[in-house]
Every structure is written in structure tokens, then in C-alpha cells.
Chains A and B, each alone.
Chain A
Amino acid sequence: MQITLTVNGTEYTRDVEPRMLLVHFIRDELLLRGTHWGCDTSNCGTCTLWVDGEPVKSCTMLAVMADGRAIRTVEGLANGAELDPIQQGFIECHGLQCGFCTPGMMMTGRWLLDNNPNPSEGEIRECISGQICRCTGYKNIVSAIQWAAEHPATSEVTS
């Protein structure tokens, strides 16, 4: 099947098998390898990206279902050389160790702040509760999102 979709502002048209998962399409067809894969059951959330402005676990969606939609991945967070505050927050607060869950966590964190600029700790924890991190014990991820909330100045980014 032929699909056309926008990823990080660029339009792509590709022939894909109807059964191909969106996460595999993004990684293997578009070679955007910042989106990771971690489980088969939509539990880990390392494949989280945005579809039409909403965070989605891209292993739960077929690539053909993204036809005509706008995708945003971790590669679309920074504005050129300028990092998004959520990215800077993860650096400032040691919000990552192995880096594998990080793209998904940042996509969810960015979405939360766009919809709730001053979330409580509890709201942050609940928002990332569909995603697993094995390294950080979450404390510094929460701090990273809080840091980004406190430094919104440069948050104007493409989507």
C-alpha cells in the first residue's frame, strides 16, 4: 500500500506492507532510529512518538494507519542546534542513563507540558506511568520534566 505522511515537517510517500508496524516503518524505512522498540505488548513505551499531536506507542499502530497524518519523533524536538527545554532538562537533571527509554519519555514529557505547563509531581508521574525506565528509578526524569516546565523560554518548536 502507498502511504503519504508527514514526519517532523517533511512529507514522505512510501509503499509499505499493510501489516508493517509504525515503529518499524519509522526506524527501518525512514531510518529515524531515535524511536526505539522495547517490548511486544505496548507496555514499555520506548516507541512513543506523536501522531497528530498526541503521544502514541508506535508499536500499537500500523504504518498504513498513519497515512495522511503528522508524526513527530525525537528527531523533531530540537530546533536546529537549539535543544528543546525537555531535552535540556534531561541533561541538566541526569534524567537518563542508558538512553534507551529517553526519546519516548521526552515525547511524553513535551506533550504534558504543552497541555499542562505547570504539572504537579503526581501529574508528571502519572503521565509517564505507561513507560518503563530500568536505569533512573524515575526520580530524575520527574525532575527533568519539572526543569523544562520552569524553563519554557525556548519551547517554540516545529511540530
Chain B
Amino acid sequence: MTAVEEVPLSPAGNPIGFGSMKRVEDARFVRGQGNYVDDVNLPGMLHSAILRSPHAHARIVSIDKSAAEALPGVVLVITGEMLAGVPRPSLLGDNFAWMPTLSYDTQAVLATDKVRFQGQEVAFVIAESKYIARDALELIDVEYDVLDAVMDAKKAMDPGAPVIRDDKGQTDNSITDVHGNQSWESGNAEATAAAIAAAEADPNCVVVTEQIPYPRVHPAPMETCGSVAELNPVTGQLTLYTTSQAPHAHRTVYAMVAGLPEQKIRVISPDIGGGFGNKVGVYPGYVLSIVGSLLTGKPVKWMEDRSENLMSTSFARDYHMKATIAATREGKILAVDVDVLADHGAFNGVAQPTNYPAGFFHIFSGSYDYPNAHCKVTPVYTNKAPGGVAYACSFRITEAAYVIERVVDCLAAELQMDPAELRLKNLIAADKFPYMSPTGWEYDSGEYEKTMRLAMEIAGYDELRREQAEKRAKGEYMGIGISFFTEGVGAGPRKTMDILGLGMADGIELRVHPTGKAVLRLSVQSQGQAHETTFAQIVSHELGIPPEDIDVVHGDTDQTPFGLGTYGSRSTPVSGAAASVVARKVRERAKIVAAAALECSPDDLEWELGRWYVKGDKERGKTIQEIALLSHSSLELPEGIEGHLDATAVYNPPNLTYPYGCYICVVDVDVLTGQVKVRRFIAVDDCGVRINPMVVEGQVHGGLADGIGMALMELIAFDEDGNCLGGSFMDYLLPTAMECPDYELGETVTPSPHHPIGAKGVGESATVGSPAAVVNAVIDAISPFGVRHADMPLTPANVWRAIQGRPMRTDMAVE
């Protein structure tokens, strides 16, 4: 692990600034003293359980809850009908049965008219213990009139297809966004179509088209979602302990949903057992715990079980993509067109900026320099769980990176060109930055070729190709897959980016106590990303205060300023920048105090790490700790200067940051069984300046495992009747230590020019970049069998079928 630059060490041995440093958080976690939502126990607290629909699509005829209510220990059984009768003085509707989604759609809190996916919330039992609550679920008798279900997005718009959202008066399964659009386009359609047509007519060019679906997967954090709501009937104060990646945004949403005054709502997001986007959405269970506390006058805990997590909370992907790429026979890319059918499930519950209804998918033109690109995304309702933006997807850049990296490999196969050579011919040159992409994204900085060559060097690329040729001659099939990705993260500029009207800027507050110790209060919420460590390092870098003297407070809306939370890799690009800015404000305040103490003008002072001193007289100065005490003293300060060093800031990013990387995966495929073994994984990331390289590498490791999982085993599939086939860890397979190799990492550092410390964010890079590398490697291995593409997940059965020339069997191909 390497530090960005040599920095002095603190008395505790920590870097005063950037560098690998052990995590502050670990002390409690290794002792079993983390505090997760399920660890919250309040006096008099009741427990709850949700009755869920066994059907994907059915009309509710009747619900008989009398037997459940008669069970000793049951306090209350709530149905949708009851919620519809609870008036709500809210901004967004008049009762509790429906709630707004983060995409301006509506979602049933408890079903009133119909159920629209298997696992949908139908009734809510509150009881004295969780065992009794579960017992009561068995006693609720629901009569359903089962309807035909729409399980294949490709058939959702067929004439005569069952209409899912008749509650909204719809007559088909189209989705209309808040701007009135039913599909989302980006880039230049005419120029792209013309370039592709010209290439088709030109014998010196090739055009390749491939269906490249990205199946439905699930973030599946180890801790499921849950909440404990305590609504004080006397004061009206609501305290909600919840698994939230965005406590402040959730507080505002609850104010809107529940009609509660926002100043009376306190959202506490304690330790979070992994998020990956699963804990961005507002789920019916959270709302029900609030309603439950409102109706019982007692705290109510709701924790979902694993099947509920996999079947009802935010899924990821489910993009049916068709990509067309045109290029010269020498391998110069001319144009790319992508057509997407997006399966949004039964409610449009996607969490993304309002003006980006397909997330940031339209960054799909990727890391290559070509003039013509166009995409069209058409969303539809299906009888599946809602969600869509999750699983470290970087606002759907996972899908974008996958489709471009897959189709570039298809092009390489068509041209019979090495995929590394093809990429090197097309990468955006270093002197083109800032680079305006053909779909309108301004990439801030990059030295792509340097990064790619480093990855190839670590991999020993030429030697791997030689080994592959030798093995093939012996009937052994190894594959080498490359992926080069560019993300846009750190949403975002307030002018264009908001969620439910909330601009995506982050507030921050820094207090410096008289003894020179500091407290930094953040709006973003760690789910394992080590904010308590790395944000202290940012302040340390700016002020020279040892990181162990800086406490980081987060996850409590009463104790921290407003901000939009942690997802889309935005903590470092947005709140990290805010931390730097607020520390610089403190430094400027300290300068005035130091000048007063040193009896000179502030203009005469110079800063070195941790200290202001008089220019030309380095001995005459004051440390930040001395200045902190002076700022509270009787020292006479200039007119208009109040004293103290504390400061606040709001950071509104001028642009996204654009981390990138080159990944190389080496696999061995047993062509008799279809078994894939990931032998090596080389990852070179450029995420700009690294605050804590140890933490950065940890983030990359985790994302690589995600990519291996998605490429080889993870799938939320459904049968024709709408039964979820991935509803437990018996069926939804996650990679273990046996499937993951010993990753080989490298780094290049190209600072972001517009971020105060040049950092770009890295939380999702590896999840975005790695699936294509794994799939490209597997296809490379079995290409001698004439395979140009095969769909994820590349399970042994799917690989075997591809080798035999037979069609895939995944939910993306339900016939």
C-alpha cells in the first residue's frame, strides 16, 4: 500500500493527512460492539411482521384477520383498507395506503385493490414478540382472484397484455416520467443512424449488433433492511432508527409521506451492515413501523427476513440491451447505438436524479473517442418487485460499462483483432481532457493508455496470450478478458441534479474545540466505507490536526447538517470536497486569530501543515492547536471577527468526477462441465488522489467479488407464473472465498481538476468495471466453439449450453 506523498506521522503513528491508516471503526466491530438497527431495543418496544402476497398479480377479494387478532400477544393487524382510512395531512396524497416513490410514481404501502408482485406487502402484524407476529401471519386469510402476470418485459406492451397499473387509470404498461416522457433518449440519433448506415454500405467498415442483456440481480447486503419507530404521542416527536444510506433525504420523504412536521422527525442510521444501494429506497416496512407506532403509541421494530429482502426491496439492472457498433476494418470505432428495454417492476421506484430517469446510463459511449452515439431507453411495468438503481451501480453506469465493453469485444471478434489492441486504438487520448463525450458528459481528467498499459504489464498480457495458444493446442480452454470503464460519480451539480426536488449538494460542519481537538459532522452515511477514518484524514490534511484528534459524527439528522447521503460513489466527490472546503474556512479564520496574536497583518502569514507563521521568520508562528485556544481567549480580534474557529459549508459540485480503470480477468473453463474458474484478476484503478490507499483497495476488492458474482452466479429469476426463483441464499448464489481469486491491484493517479483535493471516489468502480472483464474472459475461452456472446450469469449450465450452441435459460429469456 502506497501513500500519495510522504506525510508526517502523528503521535499515534497515523499520517497527518493522506496515507494508509487503520480504521477507527474497527475497535467496536471486532469486539462485537457495532450498533445495527436490529440491536436497537427500546422500553416497551413491539415487534412486527409483514404478510406478503404469494401471487405476482391478483385482485384482493377479502382479508379476514379476526383469527390473527384473537391470538394472544397480537396487538394490532393493519391492512391497506385501514391505512386508506388514516387521514394524512400530507403534501403528496391524502392517506397512508399509498406513498410516493423517489421517481414521482406511487407505491402501495399495503395493497388495497390488487397485488402486483410476489412478495408485495398485504398486511402488517404488530405483536409482543417477533415469534408471535410470525405466528399471526399464518392466521390471516386472504382470498385472491389470481390474474395473468406480466413477467417478460418484452411482452409488457403486447396488445391485450394484462394492465398492471389500473390504479392510475393506465390502459397499458408504459411508464411516463415526471416530464411526460415514455422513453429516454440521449446523443444524436440521426448522425448515429447515418454513420451506421454508411458503414454498412462501405466494404472497408464493419457493423456488429448483439443482444446484451443485464439480468436482474440484488445487492443483498448481509444486514437486511429494518427500522425501529418511536412516535411520542405527547410531543409528536418521531425517532426512526433505520437502515438508511441517506438519513436526511429520508427525513424529508417521511415528512412528505406522513405529513409530520420535519423538525419533529429524527432519523438515526446507526451502523449499517452493508448497503450497496439496497438502503437508498423508502420501503413500505419503514412507513409501516411509523404508522404502527402512531397507532399503538409504542415503539415498533420491523426487520425483514432474507427472503423479504431478496423478493421485495430494491433489485438492480434488468436492462434488455441491444447494441450496434460500427467501425473501420482497421478498428477505428465510428458509432454506437444502444436500444434498451428497461424492466422497472410494478412500481417505478427507481432512485436517481429527476432529470436522469435512466440514471447515468447514457454515459455508455465509454472510454473511447468517437463522434456518434445514441441510446434510447424504454421503461415498462412488469409484475416484479420495484427498484432498479442499486448494487453499486453508479446510477446505472454498471449497465452502460457492461454493454460497451461487451460490444467492443464482439467487434474485436468480428475484426479478428486482439481486444487490447482494439481498445488502445480507440481510448480517449490524454491531451483530449477535459473531454466532451458524444452524449454530453464532460470527463474531467484521464490518462487512459497509461492505465491500460500498466494493467497489461501486471497481467503479463503477451505471455498470457502465448499460454492460451499453447493450452488451446492441448484442448485446454483459458480466457483473458479486458474491461476499460469510465464512471461519472459524485452527483451532483445542483443546477441539473436533484432527487424529489432536493438538490444534490452536501452540508458539513467543523467544530474546533479550545484544546485543538475537532468534531466533523457529515451528512453522508457509511455502510462500511470507513468515513470515520477517511474524513478525519481530509481535515487532518487541511489543518494538520492529527486524525486521532478528529471525531466524525454521522448518521443522525439531529446532529448533522443536511445532505443527500451515500450512494453513486458520492461521499468523497461531494462530502469529501465539503470537508476540505470547511477545513479551509477554519484555516482562514485561524489566520486572522494568528495574525492578532502575532501582531501582524494576515497577509504577512504563510501556512505550513498545522501552523501559521510570519513570512521570512519561520520561528514566529502559532500552531493550529495554539490558535484554537487563542480563538476562545481574551485576545483582541479585529473589528467584525467573532472568535472561535468553527465553520460550516455546503458543497455544490461543479461537475461529476470521472474515475476509471482497466481490469483484466483470466479464467479457466472446463468445457465438459461448463465450470469457470477465475484464476487471476488484475485491477488498475485511477480514482484520482487516494485519501487512504488501504481503504481504496478494500473497496476495489469488494467490487471485484460483486462482479465475479454477477458474471457467474447471481440471478433474480422468475417463472412464468411470477414466482421469484431467487428468494433465498439457497437460490440466489453469492461468491464465497472459493470463487474469488487473490486480486492483483495497481494504481495510477490522475487528480480531478475541479475537486478540492483531486479525489474522484471509488466505491462502485470495481462493481461497474468487473462484470465485463469476467464475461469477456469466459467468451474468449470458449470462442473456439464459435461463441461470440453468452448471457450472465455464466453458470456451468449456461456455459455448457453456449458451447453446444443452445439458447440460454435465464429470466431474460422467458419464453
Residues of A within 8 A of B (CB): 17, 19-20, 24, 27, 31-41, 43-44, 46, 73-75, 77-78, 83, 87-88, 90-92, 94, 96-103, 106, 121, 124-126, 128-142
| CA A100 to CA B306, docked complex, whole Å | 14
Q: Are B274 and A98 in contact (CB under 8 A)?
A: yes
CB-CB under 8 A from A44, the residues of chain B are 222, 306, 729
From A32, A98, A106, A129, B271 is in contact (CB under 8 Å) with A98
Q: Are B702 and A74 in contact (CB under 8 A)?
A: no
- Contact residues in A for B676 (Cβ distance below 8 Å): none
Whether B737 sits at the interface, judged by CB under 8 Å, is yes
Residues from 685 to 703 in B contacting A, C-beta threshold 8 Å: 694-695, 697-698, 701-703
CA–CA, A130 and B703, complex, Å: 20
- B26→A91 contact, CB < 8 A: yes
- Please name 8 pairs of A and B residues whose Cβ atoms are closer than 8 Å in the assembled complex, sorted by A: A40-B307, A75-B31, A98-B273, A99-B34, A99-B271, A100-B34, A102-B29, A137-B704
CB closest chain-A residue, reference B733: A43
Q: State the Cβ distance, A17 to closest chain B Cβ, in Å.
A: 7
Chain B residue with Cβ nearest A141: B737
Smallest beta-carbon distance B304→chain A, Å: 11
Shortest distance from the beta carbon of A2 to any chain B beta carbon, whole Å: 18
Instruction: Say whether A103 contacts B222, CB under 8 Å.
Output: no
Contact A99 B528 (CB under 8 A): yes
Tell me which residues across on chain A come within 8 A of B25, comparing CB atoms: 99
Within 8 A of A (CB), among B736-766: 736-738, 740, 742-743
Is there contact, CB below 8 Å, between A38 and B131?
Answer: no
A84 → B minimal CB distance (Å):
9
Q: Do B221 and A98 have beta carbons less than 8 Å apart? A: yes
B205 proximal to A (CB < 8 A): no
B298 within 8 A of partner (CB): no
CA distance A46 to B26 in the complex (A): 17
Kindly report which residue of chain B lies nearest to residue A46, judged by CB atoms. Answer: B222
Main secondary structure of the interface of A (DSSP, over half): loop
Question: Is the CB–CB distance between A40 and B31 below 8 Å?
Answer: no
Can you name the residue of chain A whose Cβ is closest to the Cβ of B734?
A132
Whether B728 contacts A32 by the Cβ 8 Å rule is: no
Taken together as a complex, chains A and B put the C-alpha atoms of A92 and B23 apart, in Å, by: 9
Q: Give the chain A neighbours of B528 by CB distance below 8 A.
A: 96-99, 135
- Taking a contact as CB atoms under 8 Å apart, the answer to whether A83 and B271 are in contact is no
Whether, in the assembled complex, B705 has its beta carbon less than 8 Å from a beta carbon of chain A, the answer is: yes
Known: A19-B131, A41-B730, A75-B32. A136 touches B224 (CB 8 A): no
**A31 CA to B38 CA in the complex, in Å?**
11
Q: Which of B272, B276, B698, B706 has the most chain A CB atoms inside 10 A of its CB?
A: B698
Complex Cα distance, B130 from A131, in Å, reads: 25
Q: Contact flags (1/0) for B222-244 with A, using CB distance below 8 Å?
A: 11100000000000000000000
Supposing A134-B702, A137-B701 touch, asked if A100 and B274 sit within 8 A by C-beta, the answer is yes
B701 touching A139, Cβ below 8 Å: yes
Q: Are A136 and B273 in contact (CB under 8 A)?
A: no
Residues of A near B131 (CB, < 8 A) are 17, 19-20
Q: Give the residues in chain A near B698, CB-CB below 8 Å.
A: 94, 97, 135-136, 140
Q: In the complex, which residues of chain B have a beta carbon less than 8 angstroms from the beta carbon of A121?
A: 742
B36 within 8 A of A: yes
The one of A39, A91, A106, A133 that contacts B23, using a Cβ cutoff of 8 Å: A91
Establish whether residues A103 and B32, one from each chain, have CB atoms under 8 Å apart when the complex forms.
yes
Q: Which residue of A lies closest to B700 (CB)?
A: A137
Give chain B nearest CB distance to A80 CB in angstroms.
11
Interface residues of B in 253-295 (CB under 8 A from A): 271-276
Contact of B32 (CB < 8 Å), options: A33, A94, A125 = A33
Across the interface, which residues of A come within 8 angstroms of B41, CB to CB?
Answer: 31
Assess A98 versus B222: contact at CB under 8 Å? Given A125-B737, A138-B736, A139-B742. Answer: yes
Check B527 for interface membership: any CB of A closer than 8 A. yes
| B33: interface (CB < 8 Å) | yes
